[in-house]
């Protein structure tokens, strides 16, 4: 009996059947939780794609400097058939011309909106305030829009000293990710901004929640540089960012900043994910760069990508910063997105003539 000392309590008070039930319940809960974590944070790695990846630092710290397989932009030609096909396919899931933002007519003050983030027993929500309702566009910001040549500019350190600024500014419509710094980098990244995303967390990561007045000034100055462009704020991703969204809205109103705000529906992530799932590519949790490309692909005849380079060495073996504008060390977690896989997807689309992926300095500055 001594051996059963510890479990004897359960046998005595609960009985075998109930014990079995508890274990079963525990297993069910555990697998639900594991599934949840998996869905939120893990990637389905397509290893056949990764095998072709030749340009990254190995975990041992040694460089794997064989970037000869990077994209060649000089011999690139666009393939009309492939481009049209993508445009048709995206349309089956959503159309950025009508669905890029929630509209005033779609919600009213007092309505509840559920965040994208969801937990096992808890799905956070927010009530639409009168002020927020006023910030929603009354008409779709990209209604009936069509552009010939678009640039989608990521923030990779590959742009540092690239001299791509002039080339980027020649595009009719320029997308930028996460309110990046332009000042002092115009030669490399240009100045044109027609559609800029802003993850509300940048207010903490780059503006330190306005710990000093000059940081607030810098933020206001940065918003002013959008000069009437669209500011796309994924406001319904995480509830913890609610106050950052609120501050941004207050600043835009109080300082009379000339931007057109867009707040994607919390369903946007689902639409984009479904589109990619319908393709031959595996993109488990599309990053904002992937979102921008998906928008551009359906709005533009020709899409050129810059600064989408998730590796820390370039084709010449030089070290690459994480972002062209900040000294932060290179991160390989990529905020829960699988950037190397996304890069491979872009590279494959480049080779098919669907988009042009710039992974080198620009012509003029070579």
Measured distance CA(153)–CA(326) in Å, rounded: 16
Q: Which is nearer to ligand NAG, 95 or 301 (CB)?
A: 95
Sign of the Cα pseudo-torsion (129, 135, 137, 142, in order): negative
- For position 66 contacting ligand NAG by CB under 6 A, the verdict is yes
Whole-angstrom distance, CA of residue 361 vs CA of residue 238: 36
Asked if 78 and 356 touch (Cβ cutoff 8 Å), the reply is yes
In whole angstroms, what is the distance from residue 182 CA to residue 324 CA? 10
Q: Is 1 helix (H, G, I), strand (E, B) or coil?
A: coil
Per CB under 6 A, does 227 bind ligand NAG? yes
How many other CB atoms are found less than 10 A from the CB of residue 24? 10
Under rule CB under 6 A, which residues in 142-201 are in contact with ligand NAG? 172-173, 192-194
Give the SS3 label for residue 268: helix
Stretch that binds ligand NAG, among 14-22, 94-102, 111-119, 324-332 (CB under 6 A): 94-102
Q: Is 36 in the active site?
A: no
Total binding residues for ligand NAG by CB under 6 A? 19
3-state DSSP call for residue 156?
strand
Beta-carbon-side half-sphere exposure of residue 162 (alpha carbons within 13 Å):
33
Shorter beta-carbon distance to ligand NAG: residue 194 or 249:
194
Which C-beta is closer to ligand NAG: that of 282 or that of 352?
352
Cβ distance to ligand NAG smaller for residue 260 or 282: 260
361 sits near ligand NAG (criterion: CB under 6 A): no
Near ligand NAG by CB under 6 A, which window of 30-38, 78-86, 118-126, 197-205? 78-86
Shortest gap between Cβ of 213 and ligand NAG (angstroms)?
27
- Residues in the chain, how many? 366
* Least distance CB 229 / ligand NAG (angstroms): 6
Considering the complex, state which of residue 173 and residue 293 has its C-beta at the smaller distance from ligand NAG: 173
From 185, 244, 323, 337, active-site residue: 337
Nearest distance from residue 71's CB to ligand NAG, in Å? 12
User: What's phi and psi for 40, nearest 5 deg?
Assistant: -80, -40
Cβ atoms of 181 and 203 within 8 Å: the answer is no
CA distances from 146 to 85, 87, 88, 140 (A): 16, 12, 14, 14
**69 near ligand NAG, judged by CB under 6 A:** yes
Q: Which of 13, 48, 68, 130 binds ligand NAG (CB under 6 A)?
A: 68
Binding to ligand NAG (CB under 6 A): which residues in 241-280?
271
**Residue 98 binding ligand NAG, by CB under 6 A:** yes
Q: Which residue in this structure is represented by tokens 């030669």?
A: 187
Where do contacts with ligand NAG occur on this chain (CB under 6 A)? 54, 66, 68-69, 79, 81-82, 94-95, 98-99, 172-173, 192-194, 227, 229, 271
Catalytic residues: 337
């Amino acid at each position: 009996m001594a051996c059963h000392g510890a479990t004897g309590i359960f046998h005595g008070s609960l009985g075998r059947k109930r014990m079995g039930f508890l274990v079963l319940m525990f297993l069910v809960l555990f697998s639900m939780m594991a599934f949840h974590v998996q869905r939120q944070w893990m990637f389905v790695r397509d290893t056949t794609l990764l095998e072709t990846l030749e340009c990254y630092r190995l975990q041992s710290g040694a460089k794997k400097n064989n970037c000869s397989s990077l994209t060649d932009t000089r011999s690139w030609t666009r393939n009309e058939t492939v481009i049209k096909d993508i445009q048709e396919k995206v349309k089956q899931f959503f159309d950025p011309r009508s669905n890029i933002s929630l509209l005033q007519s779609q919600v009213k003050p007092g309505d509840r909106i559920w965040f994208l983030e969801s937990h096992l027993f808890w799905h956070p929500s927010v009530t639409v305030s009168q002020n927020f309702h006023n910030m929603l566009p009354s008409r779709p910001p990209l209604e009936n829009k069509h552009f010939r040549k678009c640039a989608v500019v990521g923030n990779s350190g590959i742009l540092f000293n690239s001299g791509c600024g002039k080339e980027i500014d020649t595009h009719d419509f320029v997308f930028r990710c996460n309110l990046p710094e332009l000042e002092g980098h115009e030669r490399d990244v240009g100045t044109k901004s027609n559609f800029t995303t802003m993850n509300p967390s940048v207010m903490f990561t780059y503006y330190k929640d306005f710990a000093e007045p000059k940081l607030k000034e810098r933020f206001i100055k940065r918003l002013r540089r959008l000069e009437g462009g669209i500011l796309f704020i994924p406001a319904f991703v995480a509830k913890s960012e609610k106050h950052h969204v609120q501050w941004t809205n207050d600043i835009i109103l109080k300082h009379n900043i000339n931007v057109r705000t867009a707040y994607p529906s919390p369903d946007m992530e689902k639409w984009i994910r479904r589109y990619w799932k319908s393709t031959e590519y595996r993109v488990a949790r599309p990053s904002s760069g992937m979102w921008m490309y998906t928008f551009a692909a359906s709005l533009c005849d020709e899409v050129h990508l810059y600064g989408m380079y998730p590796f820390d060495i370039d084709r010449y073996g030089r070290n690459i910063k994480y972002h062209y504008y900040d000294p932060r060390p290179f991160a390989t977690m990529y905020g829960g997105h699988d950037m190397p896989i996304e890069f491979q997807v872009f590279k494959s689309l480049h080779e098919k003539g669907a988009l042009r992926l710039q992974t080198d300095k620009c012509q003029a500055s070579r």
